[in-house]
Structure 1
Amino acid sequence: MERESMEFDVVIVGAGPAGLSTAIRLMQQAKAASQELMVCVVEKGSEVGAHILSGAVFETKALQELFPDWQTMGAPVTTPVTHDDIYLFKSDANATKLPHFAVPKTMHNSGNYIVSMGNICRWLAEQAEQLGVEIFPGFAASEVIIEDDVVKGILIGDMGLDKQGQPKASFEPGMELRAKYTVFAEGCRGHLGKQLIQHFSLDKDRSPQHYALGFKEIWDVSADKHHPGLVVHSAGWPLNKDTSGGGYLYHAENQQIVVGLIIDLNYSNPNINLFEEFQRYKQHPVIKQYLSGGKRISYGARAIAKGGLNSLPKMTFNGGMLVGCDAGTLNFAKIKGNHTAMKSGMLAAETLFAQLQIEGELGGKDLTQFADAIKDSWLYDELYSSRNFGPAMHKFGTFWGGAFNTIEQNWFGGKLPFTLKDNSLDHAQMKPCSESADITYPKPDNVISFDRLSSVYLSNTNHEEVQPCHLKLKDSSIPISVNLPLYNEPAQRYCPAGVYEVITDENDQPQFQINAQNCIHCKTCDIKDPSQNITWVTPEGGGGPNYPNM
């Protein structure tokens, strides 16, 4: 098939904080040097910010470097953290508030802001366009163009295919976007980033990446329940000793509260329903006191790459780079990855611009100097000092792992003379149902807790119904022949959107059903399936959630 092609100096995949920071820093340097640079950003969401979901307590360090006058420029960063409350939930009714000295200092948020990262990305996109960056929302990068083992750009996915992949009357072939260098900033478990890591063996001699699933809801609450700037974090219930993670509740602007639960994806019991754990969490008195009488207005979920420095792959290859959560730059000791993603993008831009100044530069090189730039920056210092945080929690559990991390961070500044490693695979930790406890969840009360389908409705998720399924099974028989008898097909319970179901046909035989229309692009299935049988690929551009201010 003949395709139209466009040429750029740099193509960036993903209009999140990492991708937009890359684009902005490139154009800032070009403007300062009075040079022309052709940079484009492609974004699979229907608009910039549509697929952005983050907690988010935001550290402004990278933003300050990118735009020193961000406050006078009108950045949507206006609600400073006023107070931290940190709890250990002992049961569904009991909790202990921890004194600050008993908490790792990385969890303290003085000087940070409660924000919507979706709105920050929309603002960053405006700044990028003013600098001359071309941004194409609603276009999904479906394939990497690799020629002679060099990345030459990306292919935009075809539009207007039927379920069998055949052209409909509305068919439009995707374009080739070619570049001297391509930067991949797709976020956690990026579809193309995953392929590049495998193709170029970028994770050789690294610990496997580790993941969590983060839930988030936004609630409108009454003025008497709202305390702008209050940050609440918790560990413990409803998660048990075999299931690590933690909860959060932030008092944002406009009488809104952000509430969520993060569950590590190395859990072992296949009967755990991640969505239901989040619904239980909201019923704890510490959380419920703020939500009672309020109205839930938004829901979403997204996987989080939390392996840190030990799992960070080589971030360069011939013709391109990985930045942000596509590589895994999140600092899990802080539960923050936006400032580190932005910094990785800025360092990538500085590396790229210096390379593009070389006369006769044709692109396609492996810019290994990017690794040196990272190692000389505060980004590396942060990731190094938090390198033991995740492995300690996995090895020692929430209580003792938390105690270890408090001692390491508060007494030794993250510089103990050894490095803990967790070389296990998250999906391989799942045990058969025969070895696992059953779990009974309460029915939703439709006041504080809700069902999955009404929740997905609040994510504004939509896909073109007549298109190839973007959730690919390597072997269509495995869900029923392997996963069902061993694990009661856990996709029914780890998916936060009700995409996967086991139904019975007219002969009373079980069948695996994929409701791809519900998919909120969290990537959990690609990560947690115990048979590693599900591959998430990009649907038509513009599909998925449409988060207004997550």
Structure 2
Amino acid sequence: MRESMEFDVVIVGAGVTGLAAACRLMQKAQEREQTLSVCVLEKGSELGAHVLSGGVMETRALDELFPDWQERGAPLKIKIEREQTWLLTSAQKGVKLPGIGVPKTMHNKGNYVVSLANLTRWMGEQAEALGVEIFPGFAANEVLYHEDGSVKGVATGDMGVGADGQPKDSYTEGMELHAKYTLFTEGVRGHLGKQVIERFQLDAGKDPQHYGIGMKEIWEIDPAKSQPGLVVHGAGWPLSDGASGGFFLYHDENNQVEVGLIVDLNYSNPWLSPFDEFQRLKHHPVLKAHLEGGTRVSYGARAVVKGGFNTLPKMSMPGAFILGCNAGTLNFAKIKGIHTGMKSGMLAAEVIADALAAGDLGGKDLSAFQSAYENSWLYDELYRGRNFSPALHKFGVLLGGTFNYIDQNIFGGKIPITLHDTHADHEGMRLASDAKKIDYPKPDGKLSFDRLSSVYLSNTVHEEDQPCHLVLKDPDLPMRENWPKYAEPAQRYCPAGVYEVLEEAEGPKLQINFTNCVHCKTCDIKDPAQNIVWIAPEGGGGPNYPNM
């Protein structure tokens, strides 16, 4: 039998949502002079190792959590002073949109350019100072339940298991962590979050969730080109053939620029490679002007949850909550999820603190959360942005953008129409024979690069002698169905070179290079057969982002 530990609250995932919840719990306990035990599990080797964001933050939730965050030394130093929005019309041309022509939710003046990884580390320091116990390098891989079906806690994964499934000399059995309340704050497409959503039917009656794949690089540029406080957003080229998304470029401190592309994962052309779209995007004059002559110093990728209000599942269940990007609280109308994720964690923390103070030690009835959520600015903000993503999916960048402009700038997000997108992102993939093949230019090693050199910059490390954490429900399906139908799109939609089709004497074979995995979850989302299941590898594995 596994050893167990008892806590009042166990939080799975040390991102800003989980840490905001932990801090708020301890603040409430101190206000009531209560003793509270809170544990946070983090699968990354250290806080922030797996955290990646575009990097523009609205401070509304942080202002509530730590009004004195500036005095506490929070790593928010570059306030946005200037912004540009572009529609790229070809490989060489683009139109700069006037500010008045952009939905006001996308205006960023007064927000901050931030490294979310560094903000996470700072929030971890605040949490520990309040008495929170944080355990990095431990991946939760099983949900535990009471006999009545309510959530009891989680179990960490066994360490030191070989690729053959047998214990090695370094074997250490996982541990059970029991709690009165468990918070699932794993980030986008958390593998435990998926399980509890299905078990408790939390998404019943909701639109299917929608995602994008976001890729990001940090560049050191010529000091003469550095413009701290300038942010650039845009859409259009190189995405075509029904594919949609948008790019960003932010000037940060220390002559650094953060550049990235988000590609919506509802695209239908199986030949499309989001990674290669990003690489050729940087050759456009609008981006090249900032990057040329610079040096790329970091790379990462992560799925982005973007379905919004219409797709948001119920966030409470007996004994537990699912919060932040694990639930889908990102406001795509603003392309921001840091403040909304934090607020969801803080709301849950306040409900838990009140329940504990009232003597509810079982966490069975968490209906107070729904009321708290519906009376918060989080609900109002997500409701006002409910049409943003469906409009772009239904009508495209131009017509969808026009609809969103009218909705946000004239109706304040309360236009008396609610649009829906009821097609899951993995549906609608065209046959490879019916789609136009895309010939991507070879990387030049100056502005564009290959996958493997990019993964190297993500500092991704996994113990090679362990079971593959990319599980195929049917091992033969990729070459039996995905290969003849879609030319096996996994080798293109993965931004890290994990999936590779090898030509062998007996025929083509799919090879999974799981040690390349940057934990983006794209394969779990986009596989047309939904045959790939991402589970947490041994704790401590994956990327190690220094300041993404």
The answer to whether the 8 Å contact 1:152/1:364 transfers is: no
SS at match of 1:427: coil
Q: Shift of residue 508 of structure 1? A: 4.3
Tell me which of 534, 537, 540 is aligned to 1:539. 537
**For 1:158-173, what aligned pairs fall within 5 Å after superposition?**
158-173=158-173
Q: Shift of residue 368 of structure 1? A: 1.8
Q: Determine if the alignment matches structure 1 residue 114 to structure 2 residue 92.
A: no
State the TM-score, normalized to the length of structure 1. 0.99
Segments of structure 1 that go 5 or more residues without pairing to the other structure are none
> After superposition, what is the alpha-carbon deviation per residue over 1:413-432, rounded to whole angstroms, capped at 9, x for unaligned?
00001200101110012111
**Counterpart-to-counterpart distance in 2, 1:260 and 1:362:** 45
Q: Determine if the alignment matches structure 1 residue 307 to structure 2 residue 307.
A: yes
1:40 matched residue in structure 2: 39
**Counterpart-to-counterpart distance in 2, 1:420 and 1:394:** 10
1:58 matched residue in structure 2: 57
**Counterpart-to-counterpart distance in 1, 2:256 and 2:48:** 19
> After superposition, what is the alpha-carbon deviation per residue over 1:299-321, rounded to whole angstroms, capped at 9, x for unaligned?
00000110100000011111100
**Counterpart-to-counterpart distance in 2, 1:147 and 1:464:** 33
1:239 matched residue in structure 2: 239
Q: Determine if the alignment matches structure 1 residue 290 to structure 2 residue 303.
A: no
SS at match of 2:180: strand
Q: Shift of residue 3 of structure 1? A: 1.1
**For 1:399-438, what aligned pairs fall within 5 Å after superposition?**
399-438=398-437
**For 1:85-164, what aligned pairs fall within 5 Å after superposition?**
85-148=84-147, 149-164=149-164
The answer to whether the 8 Å contact 1:320/1:366 transfers is: no
Q: Shift of residue 168 of structure 1? A: 0.6
> After superposition, what is the alpha-carbon deviation per residue over 1:91-136, rounded to whole angstroms, capped at 9, x for unaligned?
0100100001111001100110000000000000000000000000
Q: Shift of residue 241 of structure 1? A: 5.0
Q: Shift of residue 164 of structure 1? A: 2.0
Q: Which moved more, 1:261-270 or 1:364-373?
A: 364-373
The answer to whether the 8 Å contact 1:475/1:533 transfers is: yes
**Counterpart-to-counterpart distance in 1, 2:489 and 2:351:** 43
> After superposition, what is the alpha-carbon deviation per residue over 1:199-258, rounded to whole angstroms, capped at 9, x for unaligned?
111100000000000010000011111100000001100011501100000001111000
1:393 matched residue in structure 2: 392
The answer to whether the 8 Å contact 1:186/1:193 transfers is: yes
Question: What residue identity is the alignment partner of 1:191?
Answer: H
Question: What residue identity is the alignment partner of 2:273?
Answer: N
**Counterpart-to-counterpart distance in 1, 2:219 and 2:460:** 19
Segments of structure 2 that go 5 or more residues without pairing to the other structure are none
**Counterpart-to-counterpart distance in 2, 1:368 and 1:265:** 33
**Counterpart-to-counterpart distance in 2, 1:143 and 1:281:** 40
**Counterpart-to-counterpart distance in 2, 1:224 and 1:371:** 51
**Counterpart-to-counterpart distance in 2, 1:224 and 1:439:** 37
**Counterpart-to-counterpart distance in 2, 1:160 and 1:366:** 39
The answer to whether the 8 Å contact 1:301/1:496 transfers is: yes
**Counterpart-to-counterpart distance in 2, 1:349 and 1:316:** 12
**Counterpart-to-counterpart distance in 2, 1:14 and 1:29:** 21
**Counterpart-to-counterpart distance in 1, 2:187 and 2:324:** 7
1:520 matched residue in structure 2: 518
1:334 matched residue in structure 2: 334
SS at match of 1:248: strand
2:194 matched residue in structure 1: 194
The answer to whether the 8 Å contact 1:241/1:398 transfers is: no
SS at match of 1:428: coil
Question: What residue identity is the alignment partner of 2:540?
Answer: G
The answer to whether the 8 Å contact 1:210/1:307 transfers is: yes
1:226 matched residue in structure 2: 226
Q: Shift of residue 371 of structure 1? A: 1.2
**Counterpart-to-counterpart distance in 2, 1:239 and 1:380:** 32
SS at match of 2:426: helix
**Counterpart-to-counterpart distance in 2, 1:445 and 1:231:** 26
Question: What residue identity is the alignment partner of 1:290?
Answer: H
**Counterpart-to-counterpart distance in 2, 1:488 and 1:459:** 28
**Counterpart-to-counterpart distance in 1, 2:119 and 2:466:** 32
**Counterpart-to-counterpart distance in 2, 1:164 and 1:531:** 26
**Counterpart-to-counterpart distance in 1, 2:218 and 2:453:** 14
The answer to whether the 8 Å contact 2:207/2:421 transfers is: yes
Question: What residue identity is the alignment partner of 1:49?
Answer: G
**For 1:326-475, what aligned pairs fall within 5 Å after superposition?**
326-359=326-359, 361-475=360-474
2:493 matched residue in structure 1: 494
The answer to whether the 8 Å contact 2:241/2:269 transfers is: no
1:12 matched residue in structure 2: 11
Question: What residue identity is the alignment partner of 2:95?
Answer: T
SS at match of 1:501: strand
2:79 matched residue in structure 1: 80
The answer to whether the 8 Å contact 2:355/2:361 transfers is: no
Question: What residue identity is the alignment partner of 1:72?
Answer: E
Q: How many residues align?
A: 547
